[in-house]
Structure 1
Amino acid sequence: MESAAMEPRDLEETTDHTPKLGRKRDHTRDPEILQAALDVLAETGYDGMTVDLVAARARAGKATLYRRWPSKAELVVDAVACMKSMDLDLNALPDTGTLRGDLVAMIKTPTMAEAERKLHIMAGLVSMIARAPEMQEAVQAAIVEPRAQANRLLIRRAIERGEVAPDVDAEMVAMVAPAMAAYRVLVMRKPVTREFLISVIDGVVLPAAIGTPAVLAGNA
């Protein structure tokens, strides 16, 4: 006896339309991997850095890294963004009562070892941009945006207490110092010192925000 042909509706009823979900990616180890990437970048430079070296340093599988970061350049950008965001706690910004006091209080003086390590990391970024110019915008965002976000909060606070006029271009003012610092490191290849940052605060940021003559840096 021949089997009855299945009607189209029977095929629809027996077909499993449930989406096949892949295994959810585990991002819990991302901080360790990004830290390992920074360490390798600082030690070897961008040209000498490989995903294999980062995977070995982080004790992670190379395939795991490639699933998360399709290219070495993307891994480096994320690692630098993580480093910059960890330098600032937006929930614990200084509150000295003045915009200048807050901006100066945010300046952290790194140890010689920390400063040297960051210079090596930034030098690696310069090499990366030369080889992957399409990543330049992502690099700028990674190293400028964290400090700019903190500056926005400080400027809004200054507006609320009446120190800064409410119609000030807060976005522009917030971006000035981080952008100048990025230019100094990436283009001029010079370290960002406390003296440099205070000169930018007094000579550019405060006049733009408050419209008053710059305070002498010697008062820092």
Structure 2
Amino acid sequence: MSTAPGEPAGGTAPATRPRGRPRDPALEARACEAALDVFGERGLAGLTLDEVALRAKVGKSSLYLRWPDKESLLADALGRVQEAAATVPGPDDAARGPEEAEADKVPRRPSLRDYLLAHVRRRAALYLGQYGLAMLRLYAEARAQPELFGHIREQAISRFVRAERERVAEAIRSGILPPHASPVRILDAVEGAIFMHLLVTPPSLLDRVRAGLDDYIEQMVDDQLRAAGYDAQADTDEA
């Protein structure tokens, strides 16, 4: 049997080398962190891949191998922050005993009240955390440049908002909230409350706000659910 040009004797084709650079999660994490820092400080106009490469201590070519432009990098970075915030354990999870931990191997559906409390606590932690300024910038710039931020908005805001609204809509369908309740108004109320509570607080008072934040969130969520006609017993039964 003849051997094709470039094929070794015996007819065995040479091993194919994988194209592209292997994924490096550490590099990607550093780049995303640097992008969020620069975006928070300077906005999209001041965000450059040169500055991200410098802060992340990576080559600019490494960034281009993973993201075609700064908008794609920013969308990825903001989406990762939102994903991380959505999966952070709630404040009571660490206190569970062995029996509760064993029971948790079977997925349990949190009550609507617990869902909203955990959601608002995570939003507060996000706004007060390392990337809080980047999130505030995102809301302002997405409004100022809607076309440019279309993809970024979808990655970092819209898909999470849709999931949250669906969770409240399920509570309406199951009778935990009355038929006239509105997922949009309920979530606007709790999201807007925590956003404004932290946005208008002077930096000198943030420590005081942090100290009372859990009480504020619990009372605020309970106020909104009560006003919406929430059936606590039905919620407990379903959970």
TM-score, normalised relative to structure 2? 0.54
Partner of residue 120, structure 1:
137
Q: Displacement, 1:137? A: 4.0
Which residue matches 1:136? 150
- Note the aligned Cα RMSD (angstroms): 4.7
- Unpaired runs of at least 5, structure 1: 1-6, 185-190, 207-211
Partners in 2 of 1:49 and 1:55 — Cα distance? 11
2:4 to 5, 11, 15: 11
Partner Cα distance (1:97, 1:10) in 2: 65
* Higher Rg: 1
Q: How does 1:19-34 map to 2 (within 5 A)?
A: 19-22=16-19, 23-34=21-32
Q: Hey, what does 1:103 align to over in structure 2?
A: 116
2:196 alignment partner AA: T
- Give a deviation string over 1:118-170, Cα, whole Å, max 9, x none: 3234334456x45xx265144223223345446656876x69x97369xx9xx
RCO higher in 1 or 2 (8 Å CA, sep ≥ 6)? 2
For the structure 1 residues 12 and 174, does the alpha-carbon distance in structure 2 shift closer, same or farther, using more than 3 Å as the test? farther
CA distance 1:115–1:52, shift in 2 (3 Å): closer
| Number of aligned positions between the proteins | 181
User: Does the 8 A contact of 2:165 with 2:187 survive in 1?
Assistant: no
Structure 1 CA distance for aligned equivalents of residues 55 and 43 of structure 2: 15
Aligned partners of 1:84, 1:122: CA distance in 2, in Å? 13
| Structure 1 residue 58, shift from structure 2 partner | 0.8
Unpaired runs of at least 5, structure 2 = 93-107, 199-216, 231-239
Change over 3 Å in CA distance of 1:155–1:31 after alignment to 2: farther
Maintained 8 Å contact 1:77/1:142: yes
* Separation (CA, whole Å) in 2 of partners of 1:112 and 1:19: 45
Kept in 2: contact 1:88–1:147 (CA 8 A)? no
**Which residue identity lines up with residue 20 of structure 1 in the other structure?**
R
